[in-house]
Homo-oligomer: A and B are copies of this chain.
Amino acid sequence: MKFFSKLAVALLFVALVGMTISPSPANAQSALQKVMKDRGLTEKDMLAAAKTYTPTGGRDEYIVCSSGGQSGQIMFYGIPSMRILKYVAVFTPEPWQGYGFDDESKAVLAQGRINGKDITYGDTHHPAFSETDGNYDGKFIFINDKANPRIAVVDLHDFETKQIVVNPFFKSDHGGCFVTPNTEYIMEASQYAAPYTSDFVPLSEFNEKYRGGLTYWKFNKDIGRIEPDNSFTFEMPPYSQDLSDAGKGPSYGWGFNNSFCTERYVGGIEKGRPPYEAGCSSKDTDFLHVTNWLKAEELVKAGKVKKVNGAYLITMEQSIKEGLMYLIPEPKSPHGVDVTPDGLHMIVAGKLDSHAWVYSFEKIMKAIKDKNFESHDPYGIPIISLDVALERSVNVGLGPLHNQFDSVDGVLYTSIYVDSQITKWNYKTGKVLDTLPIHYNVGHLMTMEGDTQTPDGKYLVALNKLSIDRFNPVGPLHPQNHQLIDISGSQMELLYDMPVPLGEPHYAAAIKADKLQPAVRYKVGWDSRTDQKSPYRCRAGREKIVREDGVVHVYGTLIRSHITPETIEVYEGETVSIHLTNLERAQDETHGFAMYSQNVQLSVEPGKTVSTTFVADKAGVYPYYCTEFCSALHLEMQGYLLVMPKGYKPDDGPIEDGVKYTKADYEAQVATNVATQDVINQVVGFITSQNYQDFPPVVSLVEDATDQLGFAEESKGKAEAAAAKGDYQNAMLWANQWWQYQVKTADIGLRAKTYLEEHDSKTVKK
């Protein structure tokens, strides 16, 4: 054993304590020129690099929440670094997060069942940040599922999905989510017309019995949940309603949403007629829908709206009678309708037009007041004439799709799908200010807080559908391309191409990073899906296995580096419910829990309690282990579920250890531990000699290290007690456990030390 000594470990620590980081070589400028030449970078590229490159530990100025399209998830990335920080599971089960695997998140997904069926994906389209006074407040994100008309609530306190609601009327939605200025309501518009019932209705009754609609979901900010009982839906004609936006400022109380296929054409390929695409785009205009949600709310509160399918439905008849809904012609096949920051105008872009159309809210209100309607649609809804409502239209390019606003009054940006460009223009003057080609076929676009009452400008992201030749190839299915554009100057400058590696985002929203202050841990024993203490929480030392109501409940805990219990014995056929509480307080100390062949994969962040319930339907041996690399001894964080045949009598006798230890082994281990403690003391000495309390991450590390040292002390006690009884087998094992906690302490201490060195801490005492 001449090459090895535990003491060497300790000595190394000493060596490292004295180690310093070499400075980088000088002559950086010529080195830079060489790299630029080698990589073919221009000075313009270097400017873009300087505007986006974020060194280690740097922070982004804005955080984007982007839909994840058909992945059913949402994702968050930073601007200007364009680094994706997290995919958050919403409609699709995702095992890294344990989402759809633990009982708590299964209950969230179960809220989204349709006709009693689990839906295991979503087609997410338009995320919306919660707002206060027309500005993002950083509290919640809402996201819709177009395929199965649902809305989910994600809490930005912990970036977890808390609730899913199913639309009581629709069979698809696309025009969601959009919020009213104080998140009173979340708007969700249907897309493909369908009967409001779940019954079969033939297409020959399309005009009479198929319907569109717009739901205003009531949101309760205090509890962070949608209240279906206080929500209401506008019945709408069987047009394909599309995107929405809520009025603000002077237009507060009103909602606006687009539509296409107001032709009400039903595709005819099977009958030798043209497809939907032709029949749905034959008219020169579709209809902008204008709804008065504030007045509707009053009617609901006054008990004047009836419930259908268990939810408030404002029929077209009632809307017409009460003056709640109006139509205005708009450019054909529109996508975005975007209310200007001052709330005075609504801008609509039609994908088959080359103009953006600017409507005046004042003119619309005047027409309504004067009952100045050009006609009514086939369902009797008043139509305000274009001449009356329109302020101007501006030629912005072929296929305008969506608008986002600049911080400069009147200036906005429109994505141009067919021409593959961004057009910067002024809706107050009607002047086009700049255009920039993008790669390729941009759908939505996004400026910083660009749909609020106070947009920030600064950056723009083009959400491009096609990436074709932009990136290294990865097979027939390509990533999308989010292009970052600098809009701080008079001309737009392309900065960065970001491939989207999963899902096809449609819409995104960017919030000031400092508005997000998420937690790094939960209160101990927390059910993060109900936001309450879990009834299944467990404290250290209170772990137990109990049989209640025919279920084997395992109350367990997780901490570096062991799972308690390490053995679970049940009988074949029993239902097993394992509840695990992560006892860690340290940031980023998540533990996982996977079990062989049982579809069990949990993610248990510090403080959280999660559960998994399954039937142990086959006798056998089922290893389980921690799936997060949590410490040097992570692989040893393991255990066994033993499923015994019915009637089997478990042998409670001792299991023979594979190795026997002597007094000498024990003493050698203790010697190592003593030496290791000396090193820890040195590291502690360094940290406490510095102004470490000025660095919150270090304070947190010191707290964690103190915890671990406490555990070490406990094991030391057990080792010494066993040794006192002459039980050197257990004395040696406990002494080793004591050393394991020392190693964890050292690990944390070294991280703290590195942090202080890199952040130029100062010596405050010797």
Contact = CB atoms under 8 A, between A and B. Distances in A.
A730 B274 contact: yes
A315 interface: no
A308 interface: no
B148 A597 contact: yes
Contacts of A54: 497
Interface string A631-648: 011011111101111001
B621 A201 contact: yes
A13 B472 contact: no
5 contacts: A1-B284, A146-B594, A191-B635, A275-B636, A280-B636
Contacts of A69: 96, 627
A429 interface: no
A657 B437 CA distance: 39
Interface string A388-424: 0010110101110000000000000000011110000
B473 A199 contact: no
A437 B12 contact: no
Given A76-B474, A639-B276, A740-B278, A94 B71 contact: yes
**Copies per assembly:** 2
Question: Among A12, A160, A606, which residue has the most Cβ atoms of chain B within 10 A?
Answer: A12
A449 interface: no
Interface stretch (A19-27, A178-186, A249-257, A293-301): A19-27
Size category, A interface: 35 or more
Contacts of A733: 265, 273-274, 278-279, 282
Question: Among A115, A386, A476, which residue has the most Cβ atoms of chain B within 10 A?
Answer: A476
B8 A354 contact: yes
A743 B653 contact: no
Contacts of A39: 50-51
A603 interface: yes
Interface stretch (A28-36, A127-135, A215-223, A224-232): A28-36
A162 interface: no
List 10 tightest A-B contacts by C-beta distance, closest first.
A264-B658, A267-B566, A159-B475, A49-B53, A95-B121, A278-B737, A476-B605, A275-B562, A28-B43, A192-B623
A194 interface: yes
Contact of A274 (B171, B352, B443, B734): B734
A60 interface: yes
A13 B437 CA distance: 14
Nearest to A490: B25
Contacts of A435: 19
Interface string A739-766: 0100100110011001100100000000
Contacts of A268: 566, 655
A281 interface: yes
Nearest to A695: B469
Contacts of A117: 597, 599
Contact of A275 (B472, B566, B594): B566
A85 B474 contact: yes
Given A43-B28, A276-B639, A503 B567 contact: no
A501 B658 contact: no
A701 B157 CA distance: 47
Given A278-B733, A352-B633, A477-B605, 5 more contacts: A22-B434, A48-B53, A93-B120, A263-B658, A274-B715
Contact of A8 (B22, B355, B596): B355
A83 B471 contact: yes
A139 interface: no
A561 interface: yes
A370 interface: no
A455 B628 CA distance: 30
A552 to B, nearest CB: 14
Contact of A399 (B520, B607, B632): B632
A532 interface: no
Question: Among A9, A49, A513, A522, which residue has the most Cβ atoms of chain B within 10 A?
Answer: A49
Interface stretch (A316-324, A360-368, A584-592, A685-693): A584-592
A110 interface: no
A613 to B, nearest CB: 15
Contact of A437 (B21, B24, B32, B76): B21
A242 interface: yes
B352 A86 contact: no
A527 interface: no
A204 interface: yes
Interface stretch (A336-344, A460-468, A573-581): A460-468
A200 B84 contact: no
A59 interface: yes
Contacts of A273: 730, 733
Interface string A487-531: 000010110111101111010000001001111111000000000
B623 A352 contact: no
A305 interface: no
A47 B71 contact: no
Contacts of A572: 200
Contacts of A75: 501
